[in-house]
Amino acid sequence: MVQASDFAFSGLHIPGNTSNSVGSRVTPVAVTQIPGLNTLGISMVRIDYAPWGINSLHTHPRATEILTVIEGSLEVGFVTSNPENRHITKILKKGDVFVFPVGLIHYQRNIGYGNVVAIAALSSQNPGVITIANTVFGSKPDINTDLLAKAFQVDKSVVWQLQTKF
């Protein structure tokens, strides 16, 4: 039996707690929060950024994202796929919109001294998120240190240090 609560979410007006290591908080509104989104191919998020906070390098394997800045200014960017690996970046101000194509690694960074609020829509009710640093350096069990050192062309001690942070 479907009811109105299966199609509603309250609380997107509430700022997220940005007191964390990256200085941002994502508040999702996807199929987990609104069961009525199932099979509809849409979802959204509110992203709050503390001064100089980031939404770290990540990708959505099942969705394109379109983001608009509600308050403040953001540096945004994504990297195209191999072999070009072009870094596409732009500074957004209040009211500006930017698109992150499906599957590409992207980020946002508050470039100011005030808080920033952004709203993003995604082209899936379950877009998924893969945070690059957490995935590579925080996997359980760990990815082999020699493999990571060779892939990133760094000393193994750098990999060990990164793995302890995640």
Residues contributing to the annotated binding site: 55, 58, 60, 65, 106
Distance of CA 109 to the CA centre of its chain: 11
Token digits for 69? 């800045």
Q: Helices 156-165 and 145-152: crossing angle, nearest 10°?
A: 110
Annotated binding site for Mn(2+): 58, 60, 65, 106
Q: How far apart are alpha carbons 47 and 55 in whole angstroms?
A: 8
Which distant-in-sequence residues (6+ apart) come within 8 Å of 164 by Cβ? none
Token digits for 30? 């996807």
Under a CB-based contact definition with an 8 Å cutoff, are residues 49 and 24 in contact?
Answer: yes
Q: What is the DSSP letter of 39?
A: T
Burial of 160 (0-12, 13-18, 19+ CB in 10 A): middle
Annotated binding site for oxalate: 55, 60, 65
Q: What is the DSSP letter of 157?
A: H
